[in-house]
Amino acid sequence: MIIFISKFTLGRLDVTNRITLIDDDLNILRSVSIALESEGFSVRQHSDPQIGLQDLLDNPPDLAILDIKMPRLDGIELLRRLRRQNLIPVIFLTSKDQENDELTGLREGADDYITKPFSLDLLIQRSRAVLRRSHSIANKVSKDTDDGSLIIRGNLTLDPARYLCKLSDNPVSVTVTEFLLLEALVRHPGHVKSRDQLLDAGYNHDTFVDDRTIDSHIKRIRKKFRAIDPSFAQIETLYGVGYRFVEDQA
């Protein structure tokens, strides 16, 4: 394992942004690590996905970059295991013929994906974009944490300042993207949000995803809520139009 430590200024934050890179291709590990380090990131790299997963759990970084096709433990399963304990942002590295894996990864909670072969400049810019989005939520804590900014709709509570979600006082683990989609729906109950509007709310403009990804995210959100309340039905589908949140269940 090679560790690069340096500093990178992101927006108004002066922080060390830690990235963990996991790929069984040693050439990719070397070239990507050098490129990220040259931009001021702190990089931990692993060619063994099982060791990499344990490092992610023991030393959570600000961002994880994972290859999908790896021996012993592929990126999709690694992400599933990671999401049981941690919600750090994740970018997938995929091959051109792995569209199904890309969609599966997004459904499992990945924040972005980049298709191989890729330019190092693109990877750096995508990494910055995902980190900006993640930090923008965390930054709200330092602005005002006690200003009554909770969003309460029936038995659902969102705390944008702390990036927390509760249903019937039970914490619900959601990813950054899932939280942003929920917030877009819950802030205006009864208003219909199209898939394009939800894509704008949950993703940066330079992130290209299929609008079917929104359907997958909504399905996962419902599944998480119904694990707590089987009768949860406050996110309604308007076929061909989009989704809306209703305060009173039928």
d(CA 179, CA 221): 9
Task: Identify whether residues 101 and 178 lie together within a single domain.
Answer: no
- What is the reported pLDDT for 96? 60
Task: Identify whether residues 84 and 46 lie together within a single domain.
Answer: yes
Tens digit of each residue's pLDDT, the chain (250 residues): 333 333 333 333 335 789 999 999 999 999 999 999 999 999 999 999 999 999 999 999 999 999 998 998 999 999 989 887 787 899 999 876 666 776 777 777 788 888 888 899 999 999 998 888 777 655 544 343 444 578 888 889 998 877 789 999 898 988 888 888 999 999 888 899 998 888 888 876 555 666 678 888 899 999 999 999 999 999 999 988 899 999 764 4
DSSP 8-state symbol, 206: T
Task: Identify whether residues 201 and 79 lie together within a single domain.
Answer: no
Task: Identify whether residues 135 and 217 lie together within a single domain.
Answer: no
Stretch (H or E) spanning 159: strand 156-159
Of the residues 76, 107, 141, the one at which a domain ends: 141
DSSP string covering 27-66: HHHHHHHHHHHHTT-EEEEESSHHHHHHHHHHS--SEEEE
Please report, for the domain that includes residue 126, its CATH number: 3.40.50.2300
- What is the reported pLDDT for 248? 62
**Residue 74, exposed/middle/buried by CB under 10 A (0-12, 13-18, 19+)?**
middle
- pTM recorded for the entire structure: 0.57
What stretches of the chain show up as alpha helix (H) in DSSP? 26-38, 49-58, 75-83, 99-107, 120-143, 176-186, 195-202, 212-228
Tokens representing 57 are 């759990």
Tokens representing 235 are 């996110």
- What is the reported pLDDT for 164? 85
Please report, for the domain that includes residue 234, its CATH number: 1.10.10.10
Place of tokens 């990235």: 19
Task: Identify whether residues 103 and 61 lie together within a single domain.
Answer: yes
Residue pair 58/81 in contact by the 8 Å Cβ criterion: no
d(CA 245, CA 190): 6
Per the structure, the complete domain to which residue 119 belongs is given by 3-141
- What is the reported pLDDT for 142? 38
Of the residues 78, 113, 141, the one at which a domain ends: 141
The verdict on residue 250 lying in a domain is no
Of the residues 98, 121, 141, the one at which a domain ends: 141
Stretch (H or E) spanning 22: strand 18-22
- What is the reported pLDDT for 48? 96
**Per the structure, how many domains does the chain have?**
2
Task: Identify whether residues 119 and 157 lie together within a single domain.
Answer: no
Task: Identify whether residues 117 and 220 lie together within a single domain.
Answer: no
d(CA 212, CA 222): 16
- What is the reported pLDDT for 97? 63
Tokens representing 89 are 């942002």
